[in-house]
Structure 1
Amino acid sequence: MTNNRYAFGFVIAFFVSAVSNADSDAEEARTQENRAKAMNLLVIQTDEHNFRTLGCYRETLTPDQARIWGPEAIVETPAIDSLAHRGAICTSFYATSPVCTPSRAAFFSGRYPHNTGAPQNDLPLDSDVVTFAEVLQRVGYATGYAGKWHLDGPGKPQWEPSRHFGFKDNRYLFNRGHWKKFELTASGPRVAAVGRNGQPSYALDDADETTFSTDWLADRAMDFIREHAEEPFCYHLSLPDPHGPNTVRPPYDTMYQNLPIRPPLTFSMSKQNPAWAGPESKNASLKFNASQMALYFGMVKCIDDNVAQILATLNELDLTDRTIIVFTSDHGDLCYEHGRLNKGNPYEGSAKIPMIICAPGIIQPGTRIDQALGTVDFAPTILSLMNQSAPSQTEGRDASVLFAQVQPDSVSRPRPWNDIAFLRASQSKPTWVAAVTDRFKLVVAANEEPYLFDLESDPDELGNQIQRTEHATIVRTLANQLLHYGETTGDPQLQKGVLKDQLTKLAN
């Protein structure tokens, strides 16, 4: 009897073990199947990039808006354009705060800048922030980052910060700077140009196709892609160009020097700028420099050529249909519009940025998104497109409903969407806030009367239409939504004081 009980127990144990192993094998098979189906994510982010330098954006504009530096003063960008043609282009995508650190903070976190710990340049991102990369890493993605970060405080260049924020391989991540030449050494990457004081320099220093910043960083991205081609990956390539200094390696340094480049129509109108747009002292006597614009064009062309190499690598590895590719920037550059350079204000050239998402099988080729979105909306949107949930502290909107491909057997109906994005100055004290739709932009500032721009009738943003009776309803609507934004996100600029007072007046 004892032997029979032992034999029966052995059979039961064997059966349970076999079932358990079978379940384990099935679970492993399901895991492998899910990994095989998972889409890779490659984000290519430039710095201080004027959207009009991209052919796909010029296609969305009238000729005079597409070629503001002259009829022949354009850069051909076929590689980046191909992403827009195979996916979606966002025509009203804005830096939530048009300065490096706060815009990037919103982009990676899905939180408004004032809730990230990094509402101004050189402030560190709060350690509790969960980025889209960390979400993907937790579900098995190989993750990495190369290029400028600008979210770990004042360190410069500060390679490989100790806080990864989900980007496990951050060997080629540097915190700050717009270096032009890099190299690999036995002790790791370093800036290859050195100044007289022995410190890293922004000098070009004869950089070539293997050491110039754009090329060198793109090579690191392609190395990562090859290394992780057999598993789902998320890689972020953050290029420090076309941010100044406007220098680029041959042949791009002379490629556009003979173009007839002229000042934008608004260049000589800086005296008409609202107080929130300067001119700052450094721009007070700004002179137009066609050579500097030619070099800016050269940096953009170098970027596009490297994007072409990355696309070729994905194709070579049979990853094209399994990889979501995002092309974007952290903020714009006015490039002499309104007599200004750089960024930091809500003018289109400063705040509007490229956002292209190519997602085979998810986003229909040729999709155009005109609704206003901001960098704060990126993380929840890309995670939703990848069937992942955004962190609970996310404040941005999931805009995947605007991107997702309509199935052939479904009925296409307009989907409700609040066409608005909120912008803010990179300050805690009341400075300026803005609400933007595809057509209108309301700017309320501490040192200026409220401004309303009608981007349809006045794309150059020359006239304040706040007093026009036909726009009274949109002014009230935008003012009320800005007040609601201030209340729900706790924006310190709108808790009390002049901005809240102005908006309260406009909202009634």
Structure 2
Amino acid sequence: MTRLLILLMVLSSIAAHAASPNLLIIQTDEHNFRTLGCYRETLPKDQALIWGNDAIVETPAIDSLAARGVICTSFYATSPVCTPSRAAFFSGRYPQNTGSYQNDRPLNSDVVTFAEVLRRDGYATGYAGKWHLDGPGKPQWAPQRQFGFEDNRFMFNRGHWKKFELTADGPRVAATNQKGQPNYNLDGADEETFSTDWLADRAMDFIREHADEPFCYHLSLPDPHGPNTVRSPYDEMYMDRAIRAPMTFSMSKQNPKWAAANGNNNVGKFNAASMARYFGMVRLIDDNIAEILATLRELDLIDNTVIVFTSDHGDLCYEHGRLNKGNAFEGSAKVPMIIAAPGIIPAGTQVDQALGTVDFTPTILELLGKTAPENVEGRDASGLLTGKSDLKWDDVTFLRSASNTRGWVAAVSDRYKLVVSVADVPWLFDLKLDPDELQNHRELEENVEVVKQLAAALLKYGETSRDPQLAGGELVEQLNALAGQ
């Protein structure tokens, strides 16, 4: 083989790699968007600093991703619970059509994920961290069904473990009780064994191993989901901050019935120390992302890697007297979505239109120049992200409770949110006039057309997506009345 032929082959390989950008997704769990500096910058002060003027988490690495690409300010979990939101994210289909419409329900085996599309196109694919789409197994390392993630050695199905280790038999949870059963204790976890650090190291190992070929890697961090514990020094890093309860904390009696505080979410007392540790988890995530970005720069991959930062759903963090998720309030349903894609998405882009996790798969595949599976139901939002001026876009996305029995459904635009449920009257939130979501604006005369349009959109969604919550019954009756049908 001549030197010229070898050179041509090398150049061809380099060109092919450049034409197929790498994809790195960093997904957190139960993450309140207000803990990120880049999101606080998009909000008025009273919304950015709901836990007090001094209760600020510094997130320079995540903020740098937003500066290099796009920040989506109205991105929602299609169903604000782990399993159904992830099902929509990976498949581009509504949760009710994936098998994973509520927690611990396994993803249908015929689902084709964005990772499978890229694997078939020659990408090296891998995954580390929480999966939550293979049923009730816990932790269940390396599920047999890979869904396109060829290297899933470090994928575990369920749990919010705090300490991991590598053994001759593979990865395992390194914190155990007296019977040897894994638990969520820290057990002296450090910068090599704490979950966030350990999983980020696995991502960097994969990137180094596949630096000379197109790759897709998904890093799924179990934090900042509870328990709110984190390794030193992050456990004390925010303890001296003046952290207070959000303004809506004591107003839980005003919550719509679909968001009534109950069970483990019923917060009787604000815990500033717990919030300080939540902030510490977020800061540790950001510090690890800084290391990952440094690795990409070291390998000269930073400009040929599309980097996504997002979460599966939010955490109310004491807003409306609640913790956790599962309802249509902003803190529960709105999640970060940041995409840095040099040469594809202009730096400093902000998209305010409403999007959902169901829109991710068709959007990311289009950005990478790939074809999405035919049965995706989400929308390709790549035109919004890349700034196409002639794009026609219907500013509404749809949310649903994590169930196939009738609970609640919602239609959300950048400004308005209509929620209909079996538990209460229909609610319309005006996120511009009432960002704290305390008032029902449905009966105001100026909102008649808005309500009609959102109700009609929900009815159409119910038909096209075959949502069993909208297969007749009370919710459809409410929507027909609101839409004037």
- Residue 312 of structure 2 is aligned with which of 326, 330, 344? 330
1:28 positional shift: 10
Distance in 2, Cα, partners of 1:282 & 1:428: 22
Letter in 2 for 1:174: F
User: Counterpart of 2:268?
Assistant: 286
Query: For 1:326-405, what aligned pairs fall within 5 Å after superposition?
Result: 326-404=308-386
Question: Which aligned segments of 4 or more residues in structure 1 are displaced greater than 4 angstroms?
Answer: 25-32
Shift of 1:60: 0.1
Aligned ranges 1:203-352 → 2 under 5 Å = 203-352=185-334
Q: Shift of the alpha carbon at 1:33? A: 3.0
Tell me, in whole angstroms, the C-alpha distance in 1 between the residues paired with 2:381 and 2:207: 28
Task: Choose from 446, 466, 473 the match for 1:497.
Answer: 473
* RMSD of aligned alpha carbons: 1.5
Shift of the alpha carbon at 1:414? Answer: 4.8
The 3-state SS of whatever aligns with 1:240 is strand
Name the structure 2 match of 1:5. none
Provide the residue aligned with 1:506 in structure 2. 482
2:328 alignment partner AA: P
Q: Which amino acid aligns with 2:442?
A: I
1:36–1:231 Cα contact (<8 Å) kept: no
- 2:327 alignment partner AA: N
Q: 1:315 and 1:32 mapped to 2: Cα distance?
A: 17
Q: Residue 475 of structure 1 contacts residue 507 of structure 1 at CA under 8 Å; is this kept in 2?
A: yes
Matching residue's letter, 2:401: A
3-state SS of 2:339 partner? strand
Offset of residue 32 of structure 1: 6.0
Q: Return the offset for 1:267.
A: 0.1
Q: Distance in 1 between matches of 2:267 and 2:118?
A: 48
Matches of 1:227 and 1:439, distance apart in 2: 45
Corresponding residue number in structure 2 for 1:161: 143
Partner secondary structure for residue 418 of structure 2:
strand
User: How far does residue 198 in structure 1 lie from its aligned partner after superposition?
Assistant: 1.8
* CA drift at 1:197: 2.8
**Which whole-Å CA distance do the structure 2 matches of 1:251 and 1:339 have between them?**
29
The alignment status of 1:98 with 2:80, answered yes or no, reads yes
The Cα shift of 1:177 comes to 0.2
- CA shift for structure 1 position 38: 1.3
Is it true that 1:70 corresponds to 2:46 in the alignment? no
Measured at CA, do residues 505 and 136 of structure 1 come closer, stay the same or move farther in structure 2, by a change above 3 Å? Answer: same
- Deviation of 1:35 (Å): 2.9
Partner of 1:458: 434
- Measure, in 1, the Cα distance between the counterparts of 2:365 and 2:259: 35
Matched to 1:336, the amino acid is Y
Amino acid at match of 1:419: D
Contact 1:361/1:405 (<8 A) preserved: no
Give 3-state SS (helix, strand or coil) of 1:241's partner.
Answer: strand
- How far, CA to CA, are the matches of 2:9 and 2:479 in structure 1? 56
How many angstroms apart in 2 are the aligned matches of 1:400 and 1:141? 21
Is 2:397 aligned against 1:421? yes
Count matched residues: 479
Report the equivalent of 2:130.
148
Cα distance in structure 2, aligned partners of 1:188 and 1:366: 42
Contact 1:222 1:310 in 2 (8 A): yes
Tell me if 1:126 matches 2:102: no
Contact 1:247 1:299 in 2 (8 A): yes
User: Offset of 1:196 from its aligned partner?
Assistant: 2.5
User: What displacement does 1:65 show?
Assistant: 0.2
Letter in 2 for 1:501: E
> 1:44-88 CA distances to partner (integer Å, 9 max, x unpaired)?
000000000000000000000000000110101000000000100
Is the aligned partner of 1:446 residue 2:422? Answer: yes
Partner-residue secondary structure (3-state), 1:85: helix
- Match for residue 152 of structure 2 among 170, 182, 187: 170
Q: What's the secondary structure of 1:239's corresponding residue? A: strand
Q: Distance in 2 between matches of 1:212 and 1:185?
A: 15
Aligned: 1:474 with 2:450: yes
Q: Provide the residue aligned with 1:21 in structure 2.
A: none
Give identity over the alignment, percent: 70
Instruction: Tell me what 1:183 maps to.
Output: 165
Name which of 166, 176, 198 aligns with 1:194: 176
The amino acid of 1:384's aligned partner reads E
1:304-354: CA deviations, max 9, x gaps? 000000000000000010000000000000000000000000000000000
* Residue identity in the other structure for 1:441: K
1:282–1:35 Cα change, 3 Å: closer
* SS class of match (1:237): strand
Do the aligned residues in 2 keep the contact of 1:54 with 1:80 (CA within 8 Å)?
A: yes
Q: CA 1:124 to 1:499, structure 2 compared with 1: closer, same or farther past 3 Å?
A: same
Give, as a single letter, the amino acid of the residue that structure 2 aligns with 1:153: G
Aligned partner of 1:489: which letter? S
Q: Distance in 1 between matches of 2:442 and 2:364?
A: 35
TM-score, normalised to structure 1, is 0.93
Aligned to 2:4: none
Q: Give the match's secondary structure for 2:375.
A: coil
CA separation in 2, counterparts of 1:455 and 1:130? 35
TM-score in terms of structure 2 length: 0.97
Quote the Cα distance in structure 1 between the aligned partners of 2:92 and 2:19. Answer: 26
Cα distance in 2 for residues equivalent to 1:360 and 1:238: 23
How far apart are residue 36 of structure 1 and its match? Answer: 3.6
Aligned residues of 1:60 and 1:91 also touching (Cα < 8 A):
yes
3-state SS of paired residue (2:185) = coil
Partners of 2:387 and 2:356 in 1: how far apart?
A: 21
Which one has the largest radius of gyration?
A: 1
Confirm whether residue 488 of structure 1 aligns to residue 464 of structure 2: yes
In structure 2, stretches of 5+ residues that fail to align are 1-6
Q: Is the 8 A contact 1:362 1:405 kept in 2?
A: no
Report if the CA contact (8 A) 2:267-2:322 is conserved. no
Cα 1:449–1:27 change in 2 (3 A) is: farther
Could you say what secondary structure the match of 2:426 adopts?
strand
Structure 2 residue identity aligned to 1:201: N
Q: Is the 8 A contact 2:267 2:323 kept in 1?
A: no
Please give the per-residue CA displacement for 1:115-145, whole angstroms capped at 9, x wherever unaligned.
0000000010000000000000001000000
1:439/1:208 Cα in 2 relative to 1: closer, same or farther (>3 Å)? Answer: same
- CA, structure 1 residues 419+134, in 2 after alignment: closer, same or farther (shift >3 Å)? same
Residue-by-residue CA offset, 1:222-266 (whole Å, 9 max, x unaligned): 000000000000000000000000000000000000100000000
Partner SS for 1:35: helix
Bigger CA drift: 233-242 or 193-202?
193-202
* Superposition deviation, residue 34 in structure 1: 2.2
Name 1:12's counterpart in structure 2.
none
